[in-house]
Amino acid sequence: MIVQRVVLNSRPGKNGNPVAENFRVEEVNLSDNINEGQVQVRTLYLSVDPYMRCKMNEDTGTDYIKAWQLSQVVDGGGIGIVEESKHINFKKGNFVISLYWPWQTKVILDGNSLEKVDPQLVDGHLSYFLGAIGMPGLTSLIGIQEKGHITAGSNQTMVVSGAAGACGSLAGQIGHLMGCSRVVGICGTQEKCLFLTSELGFDAAVNYKKGNVAEQLRELCPAGVDVYFDNVGGDISDTVISQMNQNSHIILCGQISQYNKDVPYPPPLPPAIEAIQKERNITRERFLVLNYKDRFESGILQLSQWFKEGKLKIKETVVNGLENMGAAFQSMMTGGNIGKQIVCISEETSV
């Protein structure tokens, strides 16, 4: 079978910014022989996510993420439709997802690496399984449940950085749903700020590229900050932490401002900020959603229910075509997306 695929063309370097040219598209002729236990799938949607930045380095710096290899097909979250199956759990027409989906138009995969999904959970919006009703949704939900220590009715203020991104846009809404009385988002454009307050129910939003962030936060969080959902790290996080209350909590979701630098994860705080953290007993523990697999099923059902009830609004930025994977990745890393960045490979959902 003739397929198009995306391979890693070059590495940006540990301290470099990724560009679309780090990826290249190839057309190859692959065997369409399916062995026992395998399925042939056609790719519908692929995900680009910040964590992939470390896969571009020779050494990812973590034991649970494998590096992409030069001139080899790259992979990530994907969803597709089964065209042929020699696996007992799957039949033609099933929709399946994987966290290790090769970036190619059609692929033969080991059935054990796939999970069947029910389109009813997302009202037919299959790409939501890569976002709000998938890993970003679970990361936001379980992160807040495990590390946020929110008590309904106790007037807590939550701040979310990277608030218009895949996790941030969900985290603010989940914060409200779980009982925070005030949720403030930080993002990088006026358009994003307006989106957070007018569509997602954030109480206020700060554009960190305009004006003094510390002053704006003090004004918008007069009672200080109790819960901080951190997607960015760096200067913005230092500013938020310095306004956090005694015994408050940081949910360490991501540190995108640091991903193009050769620093450990999570990056250490500057000494003055670390002193504040210790003095005020602010928790800042590493959070890895893959450690909570026993909670995935109930989490997906909860997210789906909120979505269907209209309590969880879902936003995507969709780009069309496998040839645009590299551009979509570069855009997502520089804040070009609102909500989840998705690439549509094929919209044909029948076989």
pLDDT band at 261 (very low <50, low <70, confident <90, very high): confident
pLDDT (tens digit per residue) in 181-228:
999 999 999 999 999 999 999 999 999 999 999 999 999 999 999 999
Q: SS3 of 225, please?
A: strand
Confidence of residue 62 (pLDDT cuts 50, 70, 90): confident
pTM for the whole structure: 0.96
Which amino acid, 78? G
Residue 340 has pLDDT above 80, yes or no: yes
Residue 257 reports pLDDT greater than 80: no
Q: Which amino acid is it at 105?
A: T
Residue (of 43, 131, 99) closest to 317 by Cα position: 131
Q: What is the pLDDT of residue 265?
A: 81
User: What does the pLDDT read at residue 1?
Assistant: 95
Average pLDDT score over residue span 111-136: 98
Domain positions in the chain are 2-131+315-344, 135-290
Q: Say what percent of the chain tops pLDDT 90.
A: 92
| Mean pLDDT computed over 51-79 | 94
CA-wise closest residue to 10 among 44, 58, 52? 58
* pLDDT reported for residue 63: 84
CA 295/CA 307 separation, integer angstroms:
18
Q: How far is CA 52 from the centre of its chain?
A: 10
| CATH class assigned to 2-131+315-344 | alpha beta
**Given pLDDT bands bounded at 50, 70 and 90, which one contains residue 61?**
confident
> Residue 260: what pLDDT?
84
Question: Residues 74, 331, 117, CA angle at the centre, nearest 5°?
Answer: 55
Note the CATH architecture for domain 135-290.
3-Layer(aba) Sandwich (3.40)
- Average pLDDT for the chain: 96
Q: Over 80: is that where the pLDDT of 13 sits?
A: yes
Q: Which long-range contacts (CB under 8 A, 24 or more apart) does 192-201 make?
A: 192/163, 192/164, 192/338, 195/164, 195/315, 195/338, 196/163, 196/164, 196/169, 196/172, 199/313, 199/315, 200/169, 200/172, 200/173, 200/313, 200/315, 201/172, 201/173, 201/176, 201/313
Provide mean pLDDT across the span 316-325. 98
User: Given this model, what pLDDT does residue 254 score?
Assistant: 86
Radius of gyration for the alpha carbons in the chain, expressed in angstroms and rounded: 20
Please report, rounded to a whole number, the percentage of residues in the chain having pLDDT higher than 70.
100
- Report pLDDT for 5: 98
